[in-house]
Every structure is written in C-alpha cells, then in structure tokens.
Structure 1
Amino acid sequence: MKAVRVHAYQEPPRYESVPEPALQGPWDVIVDIGAAGLCRTDLHIIEGQWEPIQHPRLPYTLGHENAGWVREVGSAVTTVAPGDAVILHPLTSCGLCPPCRVGEDSHCENASFPGINADGGMAERMRTNARAIVPLGEGLEPRDVAALADAGLTAYHAVRKAAARLVPGTHAVVIGAGGLGHIGVQALTAITAARITVVDRSEEALALARKLGAHHTVLAGDDETTVREALDITGGGAHVAFDFVGEQGAELLAPRMIRGRGQHYVIGYGGEVRLPTIEIISREIDVIGNLVGTYQDLVELMALTADGRVRLHTQTYPLEAAGDAMADLAAGRIRGRGILIP
C-alpha cells in the first residue's frame, strides 16, 4: 500500500510503498482510511519538535486525524464489524492505567499515538485498537469528519472544560479562526452562552467566524490596537481566552485580553507563554493547557456533528499530493482543514 512517511527531520516526507498492517492482538482493528486530516502538528513533527517528547523510530507514517471503514477486527472485538464507518480517537489507550480508569484517554500511561510515535493514517490502511474506535452515525462520511479526530476534538475539549464558566453575560475571546479555531467557535456556540469575539489576521477567516456564530471580530494588526479593541468589546477583558495559534506572537496576546481571575486556554503551540509571576498572583489568572481530548469528548462531538451543529470547512487533496498540501498549510493558503484522500 501507499503511505506518507517521515525519514528524517527537516526533510519533506516521502510518498512510498510500505507493507500493509496486520492484526497483532485480540483488540486490534484494521481500518481502510477514507480520509486523513492535515494538521500543523505534522509540520512540527517534520521540524523535529516532537522528537524529544515522543521519540518515534524513523521512518514512520504520519497522520493522527483519521476516519474510514473497518476492514478487519481482532478476536476480542465486538463493538464494530467490517464495513462499519468509524472515526479514530488519536491515541490507542490501554484501559487499565489510572488515567484510563477515570476516562482521561489522552494521558494513558501505556498509549501509542499513531501518526506521532507510531504509524498513522496518511496511508491506505492503518492499525488501531478497539478503544479508539467511535462508530459514525448515519449520514456522516469519513472525509467530512476526519479532522475532527484531533483538531475538532482538541477544540471541543478546551471549550468543554471551560463551559461551566461561560454562563450568560460572560465573554470568550478566540484567537485564530483557522483549522482549530473555526471548530472552537462552533463548539462555543453549541454548548455555552458566552458572547464570542474572534481575533485573526485574515478577513476571510473572520468572515467565516461570523457565519459560524461569532458576535464580534477583530482584525489583528498592531498588538496594542488589537488588545485595546478586544478589551473594549469585552468590557475590560474576556472571562476565558482560547489561543488556537500558540506561536508567532499570538501566545502573548491572550493574557492581555482576559480580565482579573480570567482564564487563558493554550491550545495551539510552538511559542512561549511569558508572564511575570507577580501578574499571575495579583490578577489570579489561570493558564490552562489542553492535550487532545477524551473518548467521551469525541462521542459528544460526533453527536453535535450529526445534528449539524458542528461542520468542518475543508480543502481536499489526493494522498500523493501530501507535499503540496503541507506547503499550502505552511503558507497559510488553507482555510479550515486540509484533508488527504487515499
């Protein structure tokens, strides 16, 4: 079969032939990939940012946002059958460690992370396990939901954590309305009562945010002007700011856009959050990290998607054009999410 593989950092991945995956255990599931999402994390992997954290053995196949159809199941699997349409939770978790026991799949002590430290779904087929499988409801197609497996899940996870805080009369600021942020706006609209202000450098992205439910938008430019405008709109600062960019200076804006006792949710990454400790304690602000999401988060997100309350905006590419797709993503030419179709 064909796959997109990383052989060395700082080099473009290769589209090449590799052996097909096979069942190795009773809980394994082989999936025919219908679509694989393209994420900025894939660019960071190629840069080598994940090597100190995950230590993948090169070469391996990219792709951590995957959906498709079950091809083959292990002897213990009863929850899905060949032919079922499914989306895959990004991690294959064990179900036995303390984090798994309380439903925190993304912190499983024995997990593998296909596409990041093991072979992923930028391929015709991949192996996962039964705990990662979420069946798709009627009317949902793999190509329409694949990127929700990580981008959507991560955005929803952050909003879900903050939802209890975002009662009527509160304000949320969303920094970045691209592949992650446009899903975050929809999640905020679906499960919170907050007024939503979106900050982005792109007029096109802001126009999309307004269509998806944003109440206010700010065209980012000079930092001082951008912060002042956000503070004016929110009446002195957001109760929660969601940073879906996390680099190129965006990570420095969110702490300035929240009010006292506000919360800064870090979702995008690549930069550095810099805050004087006196500011943290005097304002009693929180900086909160977000890693993917739980299995239950993905189930809830699929329910919202089936109801038409969350929808991905995508640009599709054939699998063999993965290099072109990554170049478009790096250059900011993709609105929404890039999707690779084997």
Structure 2
Amino acid sequence: MRALQYRTIGAAPELVDIPTPTPGPGQVLVKVTAAGVCHSDEFLMSLPEDQYTYGLPLTLGHEGAGTIEAVGPGVTGLTIGESVLVYGPWGCGRCYPCSKGEENYCEKAAALGIRPPGLGAPGAMADYLLVDDARHLVPLGDLDPVASVSLTDAGLTPYHAIKKSLPKLVPGSVAVVIGAGGLGHVAIQILRAMAPCTVIAVDTSEEKLELARAVGAHHAVTSDQRAEEQILGLTGGRKVDVVFDFVGIDPTTELASRLVGVGGDIVIVGVGPGTVEVGFFSTPWEASARAPYWGSRSELMEVVELARAGRISVEVETFSLDEGPEAYERLKAGTVRGRAVIVP
C-alpha cells in the first residue's frame, strides 16, 4: 500500500510503498477515505534529532476516517464496509481516565508505549490504517468522511477546551478566539452553537478573519499592537471572560493574559512555546489558566452529533497522497483555508 511517511529528520515527508497490515486479535483494518493534516505534524517534523521521540519511519496522520476492511479475531459488532471515524488519543483502556473515555489523559500510555496513530503509531495517511481496538472507532453514518475527518481533532480539541469553560460563557459574556485557522474556525462555530456569548476572533491573516466572520464570529480583529485596544473598545472597556489561544506563542499568551478579567479562563490550545504567568500580582483574582489536550471518546461522539445537526462544519482543502508534501508546505506557509485533508 502507499503511505506518506516522515523518514529523515528535517526532511519533507515521502510517499512510499509498504506492506498492507493484517489485523491481529482485537484489531481492525480500516480502508482510509480521508486523513487530516495538522500543525501537530508540522511541530514534530520541526524537532531536532535530540528531541524527536516518535520513531522513524513514521506514517503521518492522526485524523482518520475510513471504512471497515477486515477485523481480527475477537472483534464483534462491526460491519465490513461501515463508515467510521478514528478516535486518535489511544490509551490503555484500564486506568481511571480511560474508564471515563478520557484516553487523552491515560495514566499508563507512555509507560506501555501506546502512541496515537500518526504521532508514534502508523497513521492514516495511507491506503489502510491498522486500529488497535474497535473502541477507537466512532460510527460516521452518512456524513461525508472528507468533510468530517477533521472533527477527530480540529473539532474534538476545541470542543473539549470550550466545554470546560461553558459555565462562564453566560449571556453578556465575551469569548476571544486567537487564531482562526484549522481549529479556531471550528471553535467559533462551537461557541455559537453552545454558548450565548459574544465571540471575537483574532488573527494576523485577513483571509482567516474573513473565514471567522463567515462561520459566525461577531467581530474579527487583526492581531497587531492595537489588538488589545480594539477588543476592549468592542467590550466597552470590560475585560473578557474566556480567551482561547489556538496559537500558543509568547505574543498570543501575553495578549490573553492582558485581556482576561476577574474569574476568567485562559485556555492555551496551540502547541507553541508560549506560557502564562499566574500569581496574585500577575493575573486577575480567580482567573485561571489551563492547557487541555485533545478530548474524550464521548466528546467525539458529541462533536459528530453537532455536525450531523448542521451546527458545525470544517472548511477543507483536499489533496491526494501524491500532493501530501505540498499540503504540508501550504500548512507551514499559512495558506490553507481551514483544514487540509488527504484523500487517498
């Protein structure tokens, strides 16, 4: 089968031919219909050799959709040809977080060598994907896999981040979304679907600000030296209730820290190196900062239902497997509108 692999530290991914896997006990072989391209991939491919821990060669793609091709011994309840999404943050299935479906916070995955597809285990940018356990498959039904594959991360990650802050997003509240790209434009839709707050999008790209307006942001502000002034002008000088930072670099985390008000949340979702200083004299009273990771299996089901109801959708640009390296070049250059999707 064909697979897009990261094979050499610092080099572009390559399309290669590798053997098609056979499912063993408890495993499922999925014929891939779509695989999402993510900044997390770009992050790991930018790591120097002494910091890279994901193994080589690595078949990329932690956002996957496909149809059931074959099942291993002991697998029941699945139908050959059934359309599914792949839940990415695989865990042990036995610890307390896993018992709640929160495999993204598995306590034993690292010690057991369990890695997500595309982030240690072979990923979805191939003709076929071997899934370690049937519990990691979510029925897709009649939803378009190309339009829906990014729900597994670009939908699930902001949903998980937003859900924990919903009690603060009451009528009259304000949420700021920094970064209106692959995850941010979905976050805006989730906020509009689930909270009665005013949503202000912030980005350096006018094209992404246009996308933010198109998907429901009440206001869109250019991320420059005047961003704080413009946002506070929109709120009448009042600090905001929640800031969701989908970039995570020092300028954006610093902006988030200046914007948040008493009792507010700073939620750092982006994988950049930025940090937030928390303390009695550095943040407003009762303000908190957190850095969530991905989301639970049950939350992915909830995200799928939001999409099925037409409340959220992902803006996608499609690429073939042959065009995979180009997709990553476009992602790095910041010229992808929404989310890039590989279609084998």
Question: Could you state the TM-score of these two structures normalised by the residue count of structure 2?
Answer: 0.93
Aligned length: 337
Alignment of 1:222-301 (within 5 A): 222=225, 225-235=226-236, 236-247=238-249, 249-275=251-277, 277-280=279-282, 283-301=285-303
Q: Distance in 2 between matches of 1:39 and 1:24?
A: 29
Equivalent position to 1:127, from 130, 134, 144:
130
- Please say which of residues 122-131 and 41-50 is displaced more in the overlay: 41-50
Question: Structure 1 88/50 Cα, relative in aligned 2: closer, same or farther at 3 Å?
Answer: farther
Deviation at 1:256, TM superposition (A): 1.1
Contact 1:93 1:131 in 2 (8 A): no
1:197 corresponds to 2:195: no
The letter of the residue matching 1:47 is S
Alignment of 1:41-190 (within 5 A): 41-48=40-47, 52=51, 55-108=53-106, 109-110=108-109, 111-128=114-131, 129-138=133-142, 140-190=143-193
User: Gaps spanning 5+ residues in structure 1: where?
Assistant: none
Q: Distance in 1 between matches of 2:67 and 2:49?
A: 29
Deviation at 1:119, TM superposition (A): 0.5
Q: Distance in 2 between matches of 1:50 and 1:332?
A: 25
Deviation at 1:290, TM superposition (A): 1.2
Contact 2:250 2:274 in 1 (8 A): no
Q: What is the match of residue 7 of structure 1?
A: 7
Deviation at 1:49, TM superposition (A): 7.2
Question: Structure 1 276/23 Cα, relative in aligned 2: closer, same or farther at 3 Å?
Answer: closer
Deviations 1:258-292 (A, max 9, x none): 11221100111222214263434653321111100
Q: What is the match of residue 212 of structure 1?
A: 215
CA RMSD of aligned residues (A): 1.8
Contact 1:73 1:81 in 2 (8 A): no
Q: Distance in 2 between matches of 1:182 and 1:190?
A: 13
Q: Distance in 2 between matches of 1:276 and 1:127?
A: 42
The letter of the residue matching 1:271 is P
Q: Distance in 2 between matches of 1:190 and 1:276?
A: 31
Question: Could you state the TM-score of these two structures normalised by the residue count of structure 1?
Answer: 0.94
Q: Distance in 1 between matches of 2:293 and 2:284?
A: 27
Higher helix share: 1
Q: What is the match of residue 22 of structure 2?
A: 22
Contact 1:85 1:141 in 2 (8 A): no
Deviations 1:120-160 (A, max 9, x none): 0011101112111000132x021111111111110111111
User: Gaps spanning 5+ residues in structure 2: where?
Assistant: none
Deviation at 1:63, TM superposition (A): 0.4
- Please say which of residues 268-277 and 258-267 is displaced more in the overlay: 268-277
